[in-house]
Amino acid sequence: MTQPIFLLFLTFAVAGTSAKGNNECVPRNFGHGSVACECNATHCDSPGSIKLLPPGQYLSFLTTKVGKRLERSQGQVLNSSTGAALRLSIVAYQKYQKIKGFGGAMTDSAAMNILSLSPGAQDKLLRQYFSMEGIEYSVVRVPMASCDFSTRLYTYADTPGDYQLDNFTLAPEDINMKIPLLQRAQALSSLPLSLLASAWSAPAWLKTNGALIGKGTLKGKPGGKEHKTWANYYVRFLDEYRKYNLTFWAMTTGNEPSAGEMTNYSFQALGFTPETQRDWVSMDLGPAITSSQHPHTQILILDDNRLLLPHWAKVFSLSTTHHLYPDFYLFGTEACAGFMPCCRGVKLGSWDRAEDYAHDIIEDLNHYVTGWTDWNLALDLGGGPNWVKNFVDSPIIVDRKQDVFYKQPTFYIMGHFSKFLLEGSQRVGVSFSSDSHLETTAFIRPDGSRVMTVLNRTNKDVQFEVWDSAAGYIPSVSPAHSILTLIWAV
């Protein structure tokens, strides 16, 4: 992991708390700027399912540094302007990319953390992510075999010389943990989940360095037996998961191929250059998938740092990348907070990390990205387990001893997008009547309803109105340090 797609700016402040009620956040202040909401086997705050109001009314959902968490309200769409100094107009004829979805990763560590809770608390946690009452994740990234967020090193084919993959076998981590959780997540979800597979390393015996970690590539050349075996390994993985009724929307060509080009890289990696990976996809992986029982599985390249675009895409003949290759799409496969050496691990209730998430997601969406996948679905209080101590943060932190989990501000940020931007929602233009640094993005959903999300990272409340020529005027305010999602039918 460690995909530095955003920078952290850490400051400290003390936040207020929100009211405690039946369905409300039980706030816990750990001194990191805002609160985390505590959930247990019998209580968890939840935004609830969304039913659009008829045309002429809007719904709004607000999360603030001072403690609101996807707080719902509603109002009338007006027929005339309120005269607000700032107007954000929907420009419906400016159409951009369509959304695939939002989600997180079912790593070995995430699965262990979720399963360390009592069955009741596990259920509450899964409902928070996947059900209509929660934030309705639709994408789950599934590491193929071990990564740094595992407690041991393994692949599914560790028998040396097993080119036919006769001894390919899923791990106990899959069979006892990840698969049952994915099935439960699917059962809670109102739509089929889009699963995304990523491998970290090939089996050691297929690699130049004879190890899962460090600098190393596949032996031989694309088209050779190691490259063929590695392609067939992906097919076998899809075959095995399908036996559990889990089918994959897409696979990536491998997590962070650039890491495997670094001397002494500390955890599982497999090096590729754009040229070797292009040739492996065209000679081995592509044909293997096409002739498998999963011919429609999408292949995503460059499951790696954003900085490597558009070079990789150019070599594969894929803002810059979109304009070069408009028929392909961009999708964010991994992001997290707390990976920087200065400020590693968990910061319960951090508001800065929430704003970093929101800023990064809006920026990506406004540059043609079709979805955004968070990293571990759940970590422990130390930001692990992680066998190389590469501890980071997660939107849900589990305290096994107390049988509780904490929903961090980043959890609600994810919800401001995942719950509203259904697959197929199309981004449209927004024009500002005057200079403002409010960060915003707007979409028309498949049913024609409109969604606008507004981020304010300053200390000032900002009055504004939305104008949608198909609906009217929505008077609103973006409070200091808040994120607001407005949704209305037309």
- Residue 43 touches ligand NAG, criterion: CB under 6 A: yes
- Residue 456 touches ligand NAG, criterion: CB under 6 A: yes
Q: Which of 136, 173, 226, 334 is catalytic?
A: 334
- Residue 26 touches ligand NAG, criterion: CB under 6 A: yes
Q: Which of residues 75-114 bind ligand NAG (CB under 6 A)?
A: 76, 78-79
**Pairwise CA distance, residues 280 & 293, whole Å:** 20
Q: Which of 136, 173, 256, 439 is catalytic?
A: 256
Give yes or no: 334 in active site.
yes
CB of 156 to ligand NAG, least distance (A): 12
CB of 169 to ligand NAG, least distance (A): 8
CB of 283 to ligand NAG, least distance (A): 28
262-301 footprint of ligand NAG as x/- string (CB under 6 A):
-xx-------------------------------------
Q: With contact defined as beta carbons under 8 Å apart, do 288 and 337 qualify?
A: no
322: tokens are 């979109």
398-437 footprint of ligand NAG as x/- string (CB under 6 A):
--------------------------------------xx
Report the residue number, 186 or 282, with the smaller CB distance to ligand NAG: 186
- Residue 159 touches ligand NAG, criterion: CB under 6 A: yes
Which amino acid, residue 222? P
337-376 footprint of ligand NAG as x/- string (CB under 6 A):
----------------------------------------
Report the residue number, 89 or 426, with the smaller CB distance to ligand NAG: 89
CB of 194 to ligand NAG, least distance (A): 10
Report the residue number, 56 or 424, with the smaller CB distance to ligand NAG: 56
Report the residue number, 8 or 324, with the smaller CB distance to ligand NAG: 8
CB of 425 to ligand NAG, least distance (A): 21
- Residue 186 touches ligand NAG, criterion: CB under 6 A: yes
CB of 78 to ligand NAG, least distance (A): 5
Question: What is the torsional sign of CA 411, 416, 419, 421?
Answer: negative
| C-beta neighbour count of 91 within 10 angstroms | 13
CB of 316 to ligand NAG, least distance (A): 30
| Size, binding site for ligand NAG by CB under 6 A | 24
60-79 footprint of ligand NAG as x/- string (CB under 6 A):
----------------x-xx
Per-residue HEC secondary structure of the chain comes to CCCCCCCCCCCCCCCCCCCCCCCCCCEEECCCECEEEEECCCCCCCCCCCCCCCCCEEEEEEEECCCCCCEEEEEECECCCCCCCCEEEEEEEEEEEECCEEEEECCHHHHHHHHCCCHHHHHHHHHHHHCCCCCCCCEEEEEECCCCCCCCCCCCCCCCCCCCCCCCCCCHHHHHHHHHHHHHHHHHCCCCCEEEEEECCCCHHHECCCCCECCCEECCCCCCHHHHHHHHHHHHHHHHHHCCCCCEEEEECCECCCHHHCCCCCCECCECCHHHHHHHHHHHHHHHHHCCCCCCCEEECCECCHHHCCHHHHHCCCCCHHHHCCCCCEEECCCCCCCCHHHCCCCCCEHHHHHHHHHHHHHHHCCCEEEEEEEECCEECCCCCCCCCCCCCCCEEEECCCCEEEECHHHHHHHHHHCCCCCCCEEEEEEECCCCCCEEEEEECCCCCEEEEEEECCCCCEEEEEEECCCEEEEEEECCCEEEEEEECC
Q: Which residue has the closest beta carbon to ligand NAG?
A: 437
Give yes or no: 256 in active site.
yes
CB of 40 to ligand NAG, least distance (A): 4
Binding segment (CB under 6 A) for ligand NAG, from list 217-225, 304-312, 421-429, 458-466 = 458-466
Report the residue number, 198 or 456, with the smaller CB distance to ligand NAG: 456
Report the residue number, 308 or 480, with the smaller CB distance to ligand NAG: 480
**For 220, what's the count of Cα atoms within 13 Å in the CB-facing half-sphere?**
13
Give me the active site residues, please.
256, 334
By CB under 6 A, name the binding residues for ligand NAG.
26, 40-43, 76, 78-79, 159, 166-167, 186, 192, 245, 263-264, 436-438, 456-458, 460, 462
